[in-house]
Amino acid sequence: MTWLDKLEKRFGRIAIPNLIYWIVLSQVLFYGLGLFTTFPVEALTLQPSEIFKGQVWRLLTFLFVPEIRVLSFWVIFAWYLLFIYGQALEGEWGEFRFNLFVFIGTAATAIAAMVGYLIQPFIGEVPTTYLFFSIFLAFAARNPNFELLLFFVLPVKVKWLAWLTWGILALTFITGSLATKLVVVAACVNLLLFFGKSLFTSVKATQRRKAFERERAVEAEEPFHRCVICGLTDKDDPDMDFVYDSGNGYCEKHAYLVDATPEEREAAKKAAAQ
């Protein structure tokens, strides 16, 4: 029984069904409130400077607030994809495991932001898009051949988009502030916990396969036949025929030595070596 099985057995009953539905719905709600009302949506975002002033609700509410809060078609498209990924993962993992994946990522992101602020204080909102990147990367790991229509025209498998996403995360880590670097790392925590073992197993399997292929390549280079008298092999002359006696091979030129005495064979070896 894995650690996930043990946790699910003990706490599975408290999982929130259709979690991604509620996340997307709340983001749509706060997006609308931010655009069309005076509701202070920014009061729900992840801002460590404000959290240390007592606004502790931000440690959780940032999950339900869209990072982009301007009128944009791409926000709607992003919600649509997020819903697809989340529903698929919940269908494959079950409610509890998907809840755990999301809330581990949420907690890791919040902790990373707070630690980053303590080390290097700053004012402003910590980007949280990377948390949702982790949901996409989990989906891609489970469904690498799922196809999306890029720009609604070009079919692309999500495994290639996942590699692109990893590249974006790497570039962001290299160029971002300390808080951003920590948040990027935090976005990988749930991926490591859920996929670390399978990734390690996959790497080991790849190493074993490559070692086997190298061994096969070496074996393929080794000659199958070798004359014990002159050392000629089937690699030297593919058309040469060999005969065997007591496990020893003889080329056509020295086949007459099959019935020879040991002394005659030794003399033939010396002559062939000259």
For residues 61 and 121, give the distance between their C-alpha atoms in angstroms, rounded to a whole number: 21
Q: Which of 48, 205, 33, 213 is nearest to 118 (CA)?
A: 48
CB 197 within 8 A of CB 209: no
pLDDT score at 59: 92
The pLDDT value recorded for residue 222 is 76
Residues 6+ apart with CB under 8 A from 8: 94, 96, 97
Helix (H) or strand (E) holding 100: helix 95-119
Instruction: Write down the pLDDT at residue 207.
Output: 63
In angstroms, the Cα distances linking 67 to 78, 128, 178 are 11, 7, 19
User: How confident is the model over 149-172, as pLDDT tens digits?
Assistant: 776 677 888 888 889 999 999 998
Q: Quote the CA–CA distance of 151 and 71 in Å, as a whole number.
A: 19
Q: What single string gives the DSSP state of each residue in 231-268?
A: --BTTT-TT--EEEETTEEEEGGGGGGGGS-HHHHHHH
Res 199: pLDDT: 60
User: What are the boundaries of each domain within the chain?
Assistant: 3-196, 223-274
Per-residue pLDDT of the chain (274 residues; tens, 9 = 90+): 577 778 878 877 888 999 999 999 999 999 999 888 888 898 999 999 999 999 999 999 999 998 877 777 778 888 988 999 999 999 999 899 999 999 999 999 999 999 988 988 877 888 888 888 999 999 998 888 888 777 667 788 888 888 999 999 999 899 988 888 898 999 889 898 888 766 655 555 556 777 767 777 666 677 888 888 788 888 888 888 888 888 788 888 888 888 888 887 888 888 877 6
Q: Convert the pLDDT of each residue in 49-95 to its tens digit.
A: 999 999 999 999 999 998 877 777 778 888 988 999 999 999 999 89
